[in-house]
Structure 1
Amino acid sequence: MTLHLTVDNWAVQKADARAVRFDVFVIEQKIPVELEWDDMDEHCLHAVAYNEAGHAIGTGRLLPDGHIGRMAVRAAGRGQGVGAAILQALMEKARQRGDTAVVLNAQTQAEAFYSRHGFSRDGDEFYEAGIAHICMRHVFG
């Protein structure tokens, strides 16, 4: 799959990032819509990945404090490196701005994915929106 990936502010990325997040989190994972949206989007860098047809198929965000979150890939894009490309782009933006580490709250089913990208478990399992998560950290070296 040929990907085009952009990283920009919420004003630029909002429509496509929201659409992906709505499909993955609200429709597919049944997370209540009021839990999906918060006031942090406006303060984050957002990555959006597009397939060769120009359709948004994945997204993620980098918060000012070095947290990566709202990683989502539509079903049609899974297993094709979309999530990895988004994660690497956000990690690179964090490195460029001088962050020494990035942290994320991973759904436990995604722990192996994040481990492959150098993240380590940091703490005990907890629940967010009824889904088991773990905190994971990657320190830039």
Structure 2
Amino acid sequence: MSVPHVVVRVAEEPADREACFAVRKDVFVAEQGVPEDIEYDTHDADAVHVLAIGEDGVPLGTGRLLHGAAAAAKNGGDPAVGSLGRLAVTRAARGLGVGAALVRAIEDAARARGLTAVDLHAQTHALGFYERLGYEPYGPEFPDAGMPHRAMRRVL
């Protein structure tokens, strides 16, 4: 999926993955104060990472899809449900549709792996964003990295 002047693709090359991690560091660690030691985890090695890049080659956003055992551990044990996470868009690219394009690319990656739904843990200020993309909240609010979150799901 693409937004004008933005390409969203699976980050397969090492340089693409490094760009994903750099965006996460800018957004989560620097902006939101998430401790760096919890931002990166063992799931990064096996996750499907997606990267949004502007026409000038500058990374604009990223997200990841967990599948298999890693996703099942997050969603209550269902291996047919993927886990969308670490969605981050740089300050300069917010409001341009980059986040929605990243979510759709992650959903496409989930479908390609035979998954039937995607779960996520949304920061509560982002609930409306995900609801507009078809996600439905469930369960109580909970803290994650010191911020309030809600679980959400979209059937594919």
CA–CA separation in structure 1 for the residues paired with 2:12 and 2:38: 21
2, 7, 10: which one aligns with 2:5? 2
89, 105, 109: which one aligns with 2:121? 105
What is the Cα deviation at residue 6 of structure 1?
Answer: 1.4
CA–CA separation in structure 2 for the residues paired with 1:10 and 1:35: 24
Structure 1 runs not aligned, ≥5 long: none
CA contact (8 A) 2:29 2:39 kept: yes
**TM value normalised by structure 1:** 0.95
2:39 corresponds to? 36
Aligned pairs for 1:75-90 within 5 A: 75-90=91-106
CA contact (8 A) 1:48 1:58 kept: yes
Secondary structure, counterpart of 1:138 in structure 2: strand
2:109 corresponds to? 93
Deviations 1:59-85 (A, max 9, x none): 000001300000000000000000000
RMSD over aligned CA atoms reads: 1.2
1:47 corresponds to? 50
CA–CA separation in structure 2 for the residues paired with 1:39 and 1:97: 20
CA–CA separation in structure 1 for the residues paired with 2:102 and 2:96: 12
- The runs of at least 4 aligned residues of structure 1 exceeding 6 Å deviation read none
Asked whether 1:136 is paired with 2:156, we answer: no
Structure 2 runs not aligned, ≥5 long: 72-81
2:62 corresponds to? 59
CA–CA separation in structure 1 for the residues paired with 2:56 and 2:109: 26
> 2:50 is aligned with what amino acid?
A
1:23 corresponds to? 26
**TM value normalised by structure 2:** 0.86
